[in-house]
Amino acid sequence: MKKNEKTKMKFFAHRDWYILHFILITIIGIVSIINLVFVWFFYNNYLENFDHQNDIIFNQHGEIESLKDRIKQLEK
């Protein structure tokens, strides 16, 4: 091999590494953004269901209190 051929191969090897890193970082970035969208969507649904669950529990406590009042009225 001549001296010029070695330097050319070395230059191409470095360029290939830069291209590979660029591709990998781009893929990781895209996957991260997709992951954030999914997490946001499911966490949003979780919060809505959690609030709905609290409303159900609150309504159940209200019903329990009203049933206690009815029992007291029936006992009189």
Q: What is the pLDDT along the chain (76 residues), one digit of tens a residue?
A: 555 555 555 655 777 888 989 999 999 999 999 999 998 888 877 777 766 666 666 666 677 777 788 888 887 7
d(CA 64, CA 23): 61
Give the model's pLDDT for residue 3.
58
Give the model's pLDDT for residue 69.
81
- In b/e form, how buried is each residue of 39-56, taking b as 16+ CB within 10 angstroms? eeeeeeeeeeeeeeeeee
Concatenated DSSP letters of 44-69? HHHHHHHHHHHHHHHHHHHHHHHHHH
d(CA 26, CA 28): 5
